[in-house]
Amino acid sequence: MTAPLIDPFARAITYLRVSVTDRCDFRCVYCMSENMTFLPKKELLTLEELDRMCSTFVRLGVQKLRITGGEPLVRRDIMTFFQRMTRHLDSGALKELTLTTNGSQLERFADQLYAAGVRRVNISLDTLDDQKFADITRWGRLPQVLRGIDAAQRAGLRVKINAVALKGFNEEELPAITRWCAERDMDLTWIEVMPMGDIGNEDRLGQYWSLKDVRARYAQHYTVTDLAERTGGPARYVRLEETGQKIGFITPLSHNFCESCNRVRLTCTGELYMCLGQEDMADLRAPLRAHPDSDASLEDAIRAAINLKPKGHDFDYSRQRLDGQMSRHMSHTGG
Ligand code: SAM
Ligand code: SF4
For 115-168, how does the pLDDT look when each residue is reduced to its tens digit (9 = 90+)? Answer: 999 999 999 999 999 999 999 999 999 999 999 999 999 999 999 999 999 988
Q: CB neighbours (10 Å) of residue 185?
A: 10
What is the C-alpha to C-alpha distance for residues 105 and 63, in angstroms, rounded to an integer?
A: 26
* Ligand 2 atom nearest to CA at 331: 8
pLDDT band for position 230 (cuts 50, 70, 90) = confident
For 22, other C-beta atoms within 10 Å of its C-beta total: 25
Instruction: State the binding site.
Output: 17, 24, 28, 30-31, 66, 70, 100, 124, 160, 194, 258, 261, 263-265, 275
- Separation between Cα atoms, residue 71 and residue 276, nearest integer Å: 18
Full 3-state SS string of 295-316: CHHHHHHHHHHHCCCCCCCCCE
pLDDT of residue 320: 43
Looking at the DSSP bridge assignments, the partners of residue 224 are: 240
SS3 assignment, position 271: strand
Give the SS3 label for residue 208: strand
pLDDT of residue 268: 97
Segment 280-315, tens digit of pLDDT: 899 999 999 999 999 999 999 999 999 998 888 665
Ligand 2 contacts CB of residue 31 (under 6 A): yes
pTM of the predicted model over 0.75: yes
Q: Are 238 and 189 in contact (CB under 8 A)?
A: no
Exposed/middle/buried for residue 254 (C-beta within 10 Å: 0-12, 13-18, 19+):
middle
Spell out the domains of the chain, with CATH numbers in brackets.
15-333 (3.20.20.70)
Mean pLDDT computed over 306-327: 64
Known binding-site residues for GTP equal: 17, 66, 100, 160, 263-265
Half-sphere exposure of 56 (CA within 13 A, CB side): 23
Residues 6+ apart with CB under 8 A from 15: 62, 63, 64, 66, 232, 233, 262, 263, 264
Q: How does residue 317 score in pLDDT terms, banded at 50, 70 and 90? A: very low
- In 3D space, the residue among 47, 44, 50, 59 whose CA is nearest the CA of residue 17 turns out to be 50
Q: Is the CB of 107 under 6 A from ligand 2?
A: no
Q: Give me ligand 2 centre to Cα 69, in Å.
A: 8
Cβ count within 10 A of residue 172: 9
Which is higher by pLDDT, 292 or 207? 292
Mean pLDDT of 252-271: 80
Range in 51-60, 113-122, 318-327 the model is least confident about: 318-327
pLDDT band at 197 (very low <50, low <70, confident <90, very high): low
Q: What is the phi-psi region of residue 57: left when phi exceeds 0, alpha when psi lies from -120 to 50, beta otherwise?
A: alpha
Residue 56: partners with Cβ closer than 8 Å, 6 or more residues away:
295, 298, 299, 302
**C-alpha dihedral (6, 264, 101, 33), degrees to nearest 10:** 170
Mean pLDDT value across residues 28-43? 91
Task: State the average pLDDT over residues 74-79.
Answer: 98
The helix/strand/coil state of 136 is helix
Band of pLDDT at residue 196, cut at 50, 70 and 90: low
Backbone φ, ψ for residue 102 (5° rounding): -85, -5
Ligand nearest, relative to CA of residue 72: 1
Query: Which amino acids are annotated as binding site for S-adenosyl-L-methionine, given as ranges?
Result: 30, 70, 124, 194
pLDDT band at 321 (very low <50, low <70, confident <90, very high): very low
pLDDT value, residue 331: 65
> Which amino acid residue places its CA nearest to atom 12 of ligand 1?
335
Query: What is the C-alpha to C-alpha distance for residues 193 and 94, in angstroms, rounded to an integer?
Result: 31
Q: Is the CB of 331 under 6 A from ligand 2?
A: yes
What band does 236 get if pLDDT is binned at 50, 70 and 90? confident
Ligand with the closest atom to the CA of 20: 1
Ligand 1 centroid – CA 317 distance (Å): 19
The pick from 99, 100, 257, 265 for probing ligand 1's pocket by mutation, whose C-beta has the most ligand atoms within 8 angstroms, reads 100
Q: List, chain by chain if needed, residues with CB within 6 Å of any ligand 1 atom.
A: 24, 30-31, 68-69, 71, 100-102, 124, 162, 164, 191, 193-194, 196, 330-331, 334-335
Assign 318 a pLDDT band (cuts: 50, 70, 90): very low
| Ligand 2, pocket-test mutation among 21, 27, 71, most atoms within 8 A of CB | 71
CA–CA separation, 258 and 252 (whole Å): 9
pLDDT at 211: 85
pLDDT band at 327 (very low <50, low <70, confident <90, very high): low
Q: Which residue from 282, 271, 288 is spatially nearest to 304, judged by alpha carbons?
A: 282
- The identity of residue 222, as a single letter, is Y
pLDDT at residue number 247: 96
Least-confidence region, from 127-136, 203-212, 252-261, 287-296: 252-261
- Closest ligand 2 atom to residue 104 Cα is 7
Q: What is the pLDDT of residue 322?
A: 47
